[in-house]
Structure 1
């Protein structure tokens, strides 16, 4: 009997089998872009179609936007792990991320690679960052960049963002009114994300600062239901969370 098959017993003279622990799996934070499946990178596609486990956030409404973007690339034999996450400010997301991270950790500990889908780029307001913070120090982790909706929106709007020494500011509409006004007042160019119910506040501030004429609105950039509409025509009640306002630079170099 080979020495690699059995170990020494615990002092009672009986051999015991060595327990072979699997090599832990690798965690991938997979940026899958803003919505158009053709904007998925070659690297993201390779990993997406080869890992045994795919995890993705689900909304309280039951919608699964991240999975829908790459649905045509998912193979039937791949195990899927939905991660229910609250998107309302009234509910803390911490316990939900704790639960999702622990489920993913169990797969990784079992030797299975896991790709966590993240719309846009994982490290720019991405949901994967919270999984990363919980697991990256325990498991081998690789982050695959994706095209952010902020920059895809500039392309869809045909609006150059910055020239030369311009400084671009990306800010969430969820900021309080005074902070948002102060930051917009000094921005060369700005992208305001997470509009939703904060749209009316943002529109008022842009008007006060004389920026409304430069501001451009887009929702669900690159998706089949993308809309580009004049800000003046918008009903605040109809503006979704997945909308942003872009304020391009005034610089026009020759």
Structure 2
């Protein structure tokens, strides 16, 4: 069997890539990465100064973005076919070569590579190189401790139904809300209903040169990319000297 290595890229700053992933990417002769059609791809942009001159690239272009609802049967079938096609391509390529697949954040934390990982089991050897999740880079960009003592942290998707958002927000101490974008009005409303809006921050492109930090209450509903992250800090138990 051949070998496919998925290299986690971390939150976006190339200096935060692990030593092992850095070494693997710099040595890669065959390199695959996800991207939207017509875009260079965030993963490819992060590693642009790290690649060898003779690298052979395999852009894995998503078949859809926002044209279809993510929960529709048509969307699901397109994505199933997309991942099946690329699992076949990587499997065939890895019979003769080591293939490095780039993945933003940590590959096993909501990463697209998970869908290829499951399809490659028993076909090719697969190695996954862990990385700092994007949310960690974002909360460090705020320069404040994110959880204290017994704080409960919940990671939510902005695509969740309103009732689920409200339920989880009401129970958790610290919040990370991903996949915001056009879901921002619903996320904002749920935070307001649970009394958390005034404590919420939005971080876009955390740790990258284009990083933007803003209080969520000051951000317009149409001014939020899909991959921006909303954060609410925990305020739990801490030593008395810390306040």
User: Distance in 1 between the 2:175 and 2:206 partners?
Assistant: 17
User: Distance in 1 between the 2:51 and 2:80 partners?
Assistant: 28
TM-score, with length taken from structure 1: 0.87
The answer to whether the aligner puts 1:27 opposite 2:10 as a matched pair is: no
TM-score, with length taken from structure 2: 0.90
Deviation, structure 1 residue 187:
0.6
Whether the aligned pair in 1 keeps the contact of 2:26 and 2:52 (CA below 8 Å) is: yes
- The unaligned stretches of length 5 or more in structure 2 are 70-74
2:72 corresponding residue in structure 1: none
1:98 corresponding residue in structure 2: 84
User: Distance in 1 between the 2:4 and 2:132 partners?
Assistant: 20
2:52 pairs with one of 68, 75, 87? 75
Structure 1 segment 23-172 matched on structure 2, within 5 A: 24-85=1-62, 86-88=64-66, 89-90=68-69, 91=75, 92-109=78-95, 111-172=96-157
Deviation, structure 1 residue 45:
0.8
2:228 pairs with one of 223, 237, 243? 243
Whichever of the two has the greater Rg, that structure is: 1
User: Distance in 2 between the 1:210 and 1:226 partners?
Assistant: 27
Deviation, structure 1 residue 164:
2.3
User: Distance in 2 between the 1:61 and 1:234 partners?
Assistant: 28
Deviation, structure 1 residue 252:
4.7
Whether the aligned pair in 1 keeps the contact of 2:4 and 2:126 (CA below 8 Å) is: yes
Find runs of 4+ consecutive structure 1 residues off by over 6 angstroms: none
Deviation, structure 1 residue 136:
2.8
1:222 corresponding residue in structure 2: 207
Deviation, structure 1 residue 234:
1.1
Structure 1 segment 140-219 matched on structure 2, within 5 A: 140-219=125-204
Question: Number of paired residues?
Answer: 230
Say which SS state the counterpart of residue 239 (structure 1) adopts.
Answer: coil
Mean CA deviation greater in 95-104 or 169-178: 95-104
Whether the aligned pair in 1 keeps the contact of 2:196 and 2:232 (CA below 8 Å) is: yes
User: Distance in 1 between the 2:127 and 2:175 partners?
Assistant: 30
Change (3 A) 1:136 1:51: farther
User: Distance in 2 between the 1:117 and 1:105 partners?
Assistant: 16
